[in-house]
Amino acid sequence: MKNLFYIVSVSLLFAACGGTEPIQKEQTSATTSKNATQQQQQTKQVVSHDLDYDLDKYRNSLADLNTTKNNNLPQQLVVEASQPVERNDFTQNGYRIQLVSTSDRSRAEKVIADFNDWLFANESIRYKAESYIIFRQPNYRVHVGDFKSRIQATEFNKLVKRRFSDAWIIQDQINEDKTPDNME
């Protein structure tokens, strides 16, 4: 069966390729140069012709209508962004642990609830990290903890990875009064 298929395929290939030879009429050099001269003259006529057409009547005016239109979103679709951490005397550059980045706010809230349940049920963890939902378009990001050094964040991340395997360390503005040094 395979052999028959190969034979049919090869014969079709040869049949299809056999008729591809170009068919050309022999032209004398006089007719070729005459055609070239005619084409050059036609090109010069098109180029020298002034375009005195009013193209505005052919333009689409729909774009002009939308420039003045006020596109307000309905209140049902507006999502309030979480307030950024205010920069005051208690904020500085540091590290946090990001648990998830999602476009679904309810999933972010569920992750925070799950994290808090895990954290407060586990008595071996002394540092009770604060959790934050941060909205950076288009995603909600769940950050936990406030760490001055990457070493502190790495140690806590080892514990967090037991429950949240996709957690990773990020740089962020932290609250200095909520670091593990100040909580003990």
pLDDT digits (tens, 9 = 90+) for 38-55: 665 555 455 445 556 676
Q: Enumerate long-range contacts of 54-63, CB under 8 Å, 24 or more apart.
A: none
Read off the pLDDT of residues 141-161 as tens digits, 9 standing for 90 and up: 999 999 999 999 999 999 999
For residues 79 and 46, the model is more confident at 79
Q: How many CB atoms lie within 10 A of CB 107?
A: 13
pTM: 0.50
Domains and CATH numbers, the chain: 91-175 (3.30.70.1070)
Q: What is the mean pLDDT of the chain?
A: 75
- What is the Cα–Cα distance from 149 to 181, expressed in whole angstroms? 11
